[in-house]
Structure 1
Amino acid sequence: MDWLQVVILAVFQGLTEFLPISSSAHLILVPRLTGWEDQGLAFDVALHLGSLAAVVAYFREELMRMARAWWASFSAADVDRDARLAWWVVLATVPVCIVGLLFRDDIALGMRSPLLIAATLIGFGLLLAYADWGHRGERSEYQLSLRDALFIGFAQALALIPGTSRSGITITAALLLGLSREASARFSFLLSIPVILLAGGLETVGLIQQPQYIDWLSLTLGTLLSGISAYLCIHYFLAFIRRIGMQPFVVYRLALGGWLLWLYWV
């Protein structure tokens, strides 16, 4: 890979991992539209590592409280709100793990069509608009119930379809349940930690089984840029949606989906 490819893919991954516009769609479309060769499994692992480091660093204080409370919950008579939130993150991750393990190869090989990506960008973009306009409430992530967490977890499983957007569909589900915009995004970001960790683990296993030449300089730069862009994205996204909402991302999804339909169908 040349340096321009490294920089563009790393920044795209860092930004789109947490924006509701689908990172998988962009990482499929960018090489296809530019004619670049596939970046390889090692580089994908590096980019995910950067995104994971960013979200852990940003929520480090909350994660420490949640981890301590979760561990204490095994012996405590009463479960506090941090322990409960930690349990909801764990349980909401189960559906995507099951679906991913059962249908991973089918998704990886059969769902990379630009027309499918266009349909999911538009369809789930409209659903995000509906949730943001009509169902947004003022509940926080600490007010989620087990039923709420499972609803968001099953919604997250849909993100295995390229173009859906993991952050987009989980934020949509949380908004439909009456969470505020910021609480919806925060729970979505917390959910990303086990998902990225597990996905990165699977990719690492694949990398070990199919060794390839590793350009360590490109991997290091990609990890660094992905982490920086992801951290900035989380910070500014939370401030942005508090004031403006999800509509700019809806417009972007509709525009990108419409352009793909025109490019590959018309």
Structure 2
Amino acid sequence: MNRRHRIYEGKAKILYEGPEPGTYIQFFKDDATAFNAKKHEVIDGKGVLNNRISEYIFTQLARIGIPTHFIKRVNMREQLIKAVDMVPLEVVVRNIAAGSLSKRLGIEEGTPLPQSIIEFYYKKDKLDDPMVSEEHITAFGWATPAELEDIMQLSIRINDFLTGLFVGVGIELVDFKMEFGRLWEGDVMHIVLADEISPDSSRLWDINTKEKMDKDRFRRDMGGLIEAYQEVAKRLGIMNENEQPRPNGPVLVK
């Protein structure tokens, strides 16, 4: 891996130059971070699970016509993806009050929202990714009005599909973060879903018990993060139900 050309390293992933022009290899790290990396640990096996769960979700989304950067999973920790020009925004869709929304508005965590809410955050670590409006986005040129409309329409479709997907396995999709990029095909540009969708970037609760099955277990020092991610994978059919966790990380169905 050290011989490969590293393009970018983030909190949870590394991008390497891909085998073909216009491609990258996306490597999933075991690093767990919270509060803009002020809290940090390495949790064995997390990257393996996020790679596999995100692959599954992106594959399912592609089947309903959602354009993405995903090409294929290469191995336990890596994906082959299309190179895109990332839009510098985090797009958060909220279905149930939790996290920062509950704190900002004084809404009790777990309260169903009257409608799904889309929020935008400017990706800037030095500023702690501040929340921004549509007017900020277009005024500062982070996305054009047409690109923003595409992002919002895709976000609604993705949320509708994933809500149903998770309900089908006994999980509530409380909220989740997405990132989008510009993919050029000749002179034509398309907005596509990029980055990942996994328990790292989503709040997932058991429908019956409300048990947290996501990175809040790390943020709130609850423990059991790997076991929660494994349970998500099992319910999605990615891990065998009778498979036992191993000290060096989970073994996944290929």
Structure 1 length normalisation: TM-score?
Answer: 0.26
Q: Answer 1 or 2: which has greater helix percent.
A: 1
Higher relative contact order (CA 8 A, sep 6+): 1
Higher fraction of strand? 2
